[in-house]
Amino acid sequence: MVYDRERERRDDAAYAEHKEAVARGEKRVLRRTRTGELHSYPADEIGFTPGRGQAQVSTWWGMAILAAFGAVVSIAMVALLIVPVLQGSGPSWGLLWPLGIAGFLTWYGFKLSRDEYRATQLRVKRGSPKPGNGSVDLNLLELGSRR
């Protein structure tokens, strides 16, 4: 990796801006952009973070597809639960677990999709760059500022 003094200076300026905003009581998130620059985002401009324990989807519409898949599976489970009752036998109670998991996937996917859509719209409106994956180690930034 090549040392870039100018990028280090921009990172220090972004970190100083971030610290000032947090000191004023703003909710901020310090992240690298897709191009690798450090940027302090308002909390409402960060939707979900791919690769941090969530699905490996990076767009709001991709998460909406997962939510729609969960909804289809939920409807299928409800149908499989009701059909035996309509035929005169007892319901298949074992389907409640898959139904609950599919319902949770639908709710969670919809929530993440909605949050990412709103964050994307705010970033476009404010002219903020798209955030990259992962987080920033603030301890390393503190060490770098003592030069």
Q: Which two tokens stand for residue 12?
A: 């220090």
User: Cβ contacts of residue 147 below 8 Å, gap of 6+?
Assistant: none
Roughly how many angstroms between the first and final C-alpha of the chain, as a whole number? Answer: 20
> What is the structure's pLDDT at 145?
54
Residues constituting the chain: 147
> What is the structure's pLDDT at 141?
60
pLDDT (average), residues 40-54: 73
> What is the structure's pLDDT at 147?
46
Tens digits of residue pLDDT in 81-118: 999 888 988 888 888 999 999 999 999 999 999 998 99
